[in-house]
Amino acid sequence: MMKVGITGGIGSGKSTVCALFAARGIAVYDSDAAAKRLMQGPLRPGIEARFGPECFRGGVLDRKYLAARVFADREALEALNALVHPAVREDFEAWAAAEDGPYVILESAILFESGFDAAVDRTLAVLAPASVRVERTCRRDGADPGQVRLRMAAQLGDDELAARADVTMVNLFEEDLAPAVERLDRKFRCDAKNY
Q: What is the chain's pLDDT, residue by residue, as a tens digit (195 residues)?
A: 999 999 998 888 899 999 999 999 999 999 999 999 999 999 999 999 999 999 999 989 998 899 888 877 889 989 999 999 999 999 999 999 999 999 999 999 999 999 999 999 999 999 998 888 888 888 888 878 888 887 777 788 889 999 999 999 998 787 788 999 999 999 999 999 887
pLDDT of residue 71: 76
> By three-state DSSP, how is residue 125 classified?
strand
pLDDT of residue 16: 92
pLDDT of residue 77: 87
pLDDT given for residue 22 in this prediction: 97
For the beta carbon of residue 185, count every other beta carbon within 10 angstroms: 19
- pLDDT value at residue 34: 97
Q: Please name each of the domains of the chain with its CATH number.
A: 2-26+101-192 (3.40.50.300)
Question: Letter for the amino acid at 187?
Answer: K
Nearest to 78 by CA among 114, 26, 53, 108: 114
Environment class of 190 (CB within 10 Å of its CB; exposed 0-12, middle 13-18, buried 19+): exposed
The per-residue pLDDT for 171 is 86
